[in-house]
Amino acid sequence: MKKAHMKKNCEELNKLTSPPAYYLPNPYLDDDNAYNINGLNTIPRLAIVNANQSLDNAVETGFGLFNQGNFPDYGSYARYTSANNQTHHVEFIAYPTQYGSIHTHPFNTTNKTWIPMFSLDDIYSVLTFRNVYSSIEYLNDLNTNGDALFTSILIAKQGDSNNTYAIKIEDITKFQKLKDVYDDIGDANNDGINEYKEMNQSLKDLYTENANDASGTATQYQRVLLKFLADNDLGLSLYQMEQTNAGTPDVEETWKRLNLGLGDTVISSPCN
């Protein structure tokens, strides 16, 4: 079953970085389109591979992933989403045709509040995208890979390298349980502790304690997140993008699934 999920997840990730050719231009990329008020909409691949140019910004950079209008004639697109002026975070609202997001966790001397890996809110957003999108019948009819479509993609600097990751769904039944936890966000248990807020703080603490906070390496952050996903049985998987032949006409992006091995080592399985 895990291999079947991985195959579909890999197919959807490969579509983002190596999209098929479409005969029609995407009107949502036109400067005069009402959904492109900033003139910054782009194709998903360019949004992903160029995001590392924004890692020194004082605010997060983000794009929503959309299948809109007469999809699938011209494919999906990445809609630019500006950061909140107060929090400096990109806050995604789940629209009916949105299936995912792309955003950065920058680090600079002005704002040191971003940990360079997925937050619990980033993780939960995938479930929100999935549940809203799946309520639209015609989009479901066109979705050949089901829950493998939905994703959150993060670009962050870890140690000396810029890294790109994707959260993907493995088991929607397990993942849906997080919604029950989130829906109780205004309540507290008998100890006066809200479970979702407690999970959120726990992940932050694990990053700080076991991944050396903002100075951690990619492997440290991968290990912390993989253990968190497994310990909480969230039904999710973690993928990483790699780019070869950068700066040449033969540039190519590939994806691999990250897993915990013996002794909590991080091992990978490439997408084929």
Q: What is the pLDDT of residues 174-224, one digit of tens each?
A: 999 999 999 876 555 545 458 999 999 999 999 989 998 667 899 999 999
Q: State residue 267 phi and psi, 5-degree precision.
A: -120, 165
Instruction: Kindly give, in sequence order, each residue whose CB lies less than 8 Å from that of residue 143, ignoring residues fewer than 6 positions away.
Output: 149
- CA distances to 167, 168, 177 from 124, rounded to whole Å, are 10, 11, 11
Coil, strand or helix: which one is 80? strand
The two tokens of residue 185 are: 């966000």
Residue 267 has a pLDDT of: 97
Q: Give dist(CA 133, CA 99) in Å, integer.
A: 6
Residue 165 has a pLDDT of: 98
Tell me 147's DSSP state. G
Q: Give dist(CA 62, CA 76) in Å, integer.
A: 16
Residue 188 has a pLDDT of: 55
* Nearest Cα to Cα of residue 220 among 205, 209, 231, 233: 209
Q: What's the angle, vertex CA 15, arms to CA 18 and CA 78, rounded to 5?
A: 90
pTM for the model: 0.93
Positions in the chain whose pLDDT score sits under 50: 1, 190, 192
The two tokens of residue 270 are: 């490439």
Q: Give dist(CA 206, CA 213) in Å, integer.
A: 9
